[in-house]
Amino acid sequence: MYVVGTAGHVDHGKSTLIKALTGIDPDRLPQEKQRGMTLDLGFAWMTLPSGRQISIVDVPGHERFVRHMLAGVGAIDLALLIIAADEGIKPQTTEHLQILNMLKTKRVLVVVTKSDLVDQETLELLNMEFEDLFKGTVCEGASIVPVSVPTGEGLAQLTEKMDQVLDTTEQRQDLGRPRLAIDRFFSVSGFGTVVTGTLIDGSFASGDVVEIVPSGLNCRIRAIQSHRTTVEHSGPGRRLAINLSGISNEEIRRGDIVTKPGWLKPTIMIDAEVQLMPNAIRPLKHNSRLSFHLLVSETQARVRLLNTRELQPGEHAWAQIHLANPIALAKGDLFILRNTMTTVGGGRVVDIAPKRHRPFVESVLERIALLDEGTIESSLLGALDEYKPSNPKRLAQITNLNLEQILSSITEMSKGEQLVLLDEIEATPNSVIYSNSAWNNLESRITQAINAYHEQQPLRRGISKEEIRSRLDVTPVIFAKILNRMKKEGTISEQEAYLRSPHHSTALDEKQKHLTKSFLDALKSNPYSPPPDLILEPELLALLVNEGQVVKLNNSITFLAETYAEAVQIISDHIKSHGNITVAQARTLLDSSRKYILPLLEYMDQNRITRRIGDHRILR
């Protein structure tokens, strides 16, 4: 199914034509009927001669209501540019044409209404004027159909021509992530909240749980109607009325997006390619403040030019646009920019959540160009340069690509070493992905931190893993994947809670060797009652602990590792035979004093070998 929209100057007969074609009056508001002028969007539908059903969006033509016109033409497949034969080209004819051009409307038919009010010569002169106006626009080469509603002349030819044009118009793609921009919402007695809009990029079915963005509220689709007929399921490219349960009218705003939960996030800053209208009166300056229109949404915006200080009429530039209010949008979406008087330009979204950029930074401009290039690979690489790390779900949102396409491409790109896929052979929606440059930088940071630690603490086993993770600011799950990858590559070694270089070894000088030997010999001389004045430099003692030669019971008492193991065995055997042990019994068994036995038993408690119950200890 397709959506057809009107465009054109006020009082050129748009609504009258739609009523003649469909039998439905698109002017639904009492004020519209009183004034004979369309003030907001109107809707109708019809069946073409081929049997094809189409939805029709009728837009207002008055200059004061261009913002409503923009809300109506953001998701149409065929535009009918309406021009009255007795008035010809008018200001809103030109502005609406420029808007259709900026929005890259797929197909356009030019409809000359009120043809019965002029002669053939006037129609021919009009066609000559059209040729000049349409040159270089989406209307260039478009069919021109003169019609008269009072006489009915040309109406049949128009519907046939619409059929012919739509025969060659591609259906909208189902990208698996539906979006319906709400252009109307109201309450129906006995049913509750109903929203209407044009569905793009995916499908909805009755019973689906959906999210309203930007509010983030979840609700459920109770029923779907298209052209007042209930349907269980609808694909993209249809006008729908959706009955929602679990949400009230007060929680909805015009311009909100109905979508599947979890993927679409509102943003207040985008990177975009912008173009100034060819007939703009003056250049667009850096930091200009304009109104931003996309689908049904609108907000004030500040346009920061990135590769020029001033954009001349008809020219393109990269820009970062700061939005006054959050808007939910996707990469590739087209938008319009207006000042208080007229449309000045438009553009296309390249990145929906960029970091703030300074103008004229070559690396930034290269990344935006790469992201905009269009191939799946270039889009993914451009996004990965900005988001470090990322995952396929996030990349689908950023690049406007189907998740299945992304998963397949990431797997192949990983095999071709175009990116780094952590700890997996095939990509999944939650895979952790780095660009090659980001991964190389990450590896360098980790290895430099480890080597610097070895230089400062040459006798210690390595740096704490948690210290490295805190420096990287990544989740424990991602950090574990990073370490697994680096261990496989042989760039780091892991020992319990520490990381070290695989090339690092602790080498003692002669003096240090003598000190450690003397310390160990002193421990051997009286294993369970070491000399009270036995002291070793902290770094050397830490080395002996790390190497497993000694066990540090507390800050003042150290046992040889074999002495500690022997003590654990003796105490455990006693408990197994007698059920428990006291400090006095342990002191007798090991021929030692309370000064040493109490720290030993407490250390065993800490290591969950024994458990204290009153004055006794039992095995855990």
Per-residue pLDDT averaged across 51-65, rounded? 71
Q: Residue 324 contacts by C-beta under 8 Å, 6 or more apart in sequence? A: 268, 299, 300, 301
Per-residue pLDDT averaged across 437-444, rounded? 91
Q: How confident is the model at residue 425 (pLDDT cuts 50, 70, 90)?
A: confident
pLDDT for residue 91 is more than 80: yes
Q: What is the pLDDT of residue 27?
A: 60
Q: What is the pLDDT of residue 67?
A: 60
Rounded Cα gap, residues 198 and 179, in angstroms = 8
Rounded Cα gap, residues 146 and 163, in angstroms = 16
Q: In percent, how much of the chain has pLDDT > 70?
A: 95
Q: How confident is the model at residue 270 (pLDDT cuts 50, 70, 90)?
A: very high
DSSP 354: P
Rounded Cα gap, residues 569 and 600, in angstroms = 13
Q: How confident is the model at residue 315 (pLDDT cuts 50, 70, 90)?
A: very high
Rounded Cα gap, residues 343 and 341, in angstroms = 7
Rg (CA), the chain: 37
Nearest partner of 86 among 56, 54, 122, 61, judged by Cα: 122
Q: What is the pLDDT of residue 72?
A: 57
Q: What is the pLDDT of residue 37?
A: 39
From 341-345, 429-433, 475-479, 506-510, the region with the lowest mean pLDDT = 506-510
**Token pair for 393:** 């779900």
pLDDT tens per residue, range 332-365: 899 999 998 888 999 999 988 888 999 999 989 9
From 80-89, 115-124, 285-294, 458-467, the region with the lowest mean pLDDT = 458-467
What does the H/E/C string look like for 36-103? CCCCCCEEEEEECCCCCEEEEEECCCCHHHHHHHHHHHCCCCEEEEEEECCCCCCHHHHHHHHHHHHC
**Within 10 Å of residue 288's Cβ, how many Cβ atoms?**
19
Most confident of the ranges 35-39, 66-70, 452-456, 459-463: 452-456
pLDDT for residue 65 is more than 50: no
Q: Which helix (H) or strand (E) holds 545?
A: helix 538-546
Sequence-ordered strand ranges (E) for 99-256: 107-113, 144-146, 179-181, 184-188, 192-200, 204-205, 209-213, 217-226, 229-231, 233-234, 238-245
Rounded Cα gap, residues 451 and 465, in angstroms = 14
From 33-47, 160-174, 323-337, 589-603, the region with the lowest mean pLDDT = 33-47
Nearest partner of 350 among 325, 336, 370, judged by Cα: 370
Q: Are strands 316-328 and 297-305 parallel, antiparallel or unpaired?
A: antiparallel
Residue 579's φ and ψ, nearest 5 degrees, are: 90, -30
pLDDT for residue 64 is more than 70: no
| Higher pLDDT among residues 57 and 581, named by residue | 581
Q: What is the pLDDT of residue 282?
A: 92
pTM given for the model: 0.68
Q: What is the pLDDT of residue 421?
A: 92
Per-residue pLDDT averaged across 423-434, rounded? 88
From 339-348, 378-387, 542-551, 585-594, the region with the lowest mean pLDDT = 378-387
Nearest partner of 451 among 510, 492, 396, 405, judged by Cα: 492
From 274-288, 396-410, 512-526, the region with the lowest mean pLDDT = 396-410
CB 115 within 8 A of CB 147: yes
pLDDT for residue 61 is more than 70: no
Q: Distances in Å between the alpha carbon of 460 and those of 206, 449, 500, 514? A: 63, 14, 9, 18
Residue 179's φ and ψ, nearest 5 degrees, are: -140, 130
Q: What is the pLDDT of residue 9?
A: 84
pLDDT tens per residue, range 212-255: 999 999 999 999 999 888 999 999 988 899 999 999 999 999 89
**Within 10 Å of residue 573's Cβ, how many Cβ atoms?**
12
Nearest partner of 36 among 55, 56, 62, 57, judged by Cα: 62
Domains and CATH numbers, the chain: 2-167 (3.40.50.300), 179-259 (2.40.30.10), 266-364 (2.40.30.10), 373-507 (1.10.10.10), 511-619 (1.10.10.10)
Q: Residue 234 pairs with which residues in a beta bridge?
A: 204
From 57-61, 373-377, 616-620, the region with the lowest mean pLDDT = 57-61
pLDDT tens per residue, range 321-335: 999 999 999 888 999
pLDDT tens per residue, range 371-389: 887 678 888 887 887 777 8
CB 22 within 8 A of CB 6: no
**Token pair for 516:** 């450690």
Q: What is the pLDDT of residue 62?
A: 44
Helix (H, G, I), strand (E, B) or coil at 195: strand
CB 609 within 8 A of CB 568: yes
Rounded Cα gap, residues 381 and 574, in angstroms = 65
Rounded Cα gap, residues 71 and 255, in angstroms = 8
- Which position has the token pair 């095995």? 619
Q: Which amino acid is at 282?
A: R
pLDDT for residue 25 is more than 90: no
pLDDT for residue 14 is more than 60: yes
Q: Which amino acid is at 102?
A: M
Angle between helices 594-606 and 583-590 (to 10 degrees): 110
Mean pLDDT of the chain: 88
Rounded Cα gap, residues 255 and 599, in angstroms = 69
CB 463 within 8 A of CB 498: yes
pLDDT tens per residue, range 149-206: 999 999 999 999 999 999 988 888 888 889 999 988 988 888 889 999 999 989 999 9
Q: Distances in Å between the alpha carbon of 583 and those of 82, 551, 618? A: 100, 20, 12
Nearest partner of 112 among 24, 8, 5, 2, judged by Cα: 8
Q: What is the pLDDT of residue 156?
A: 93
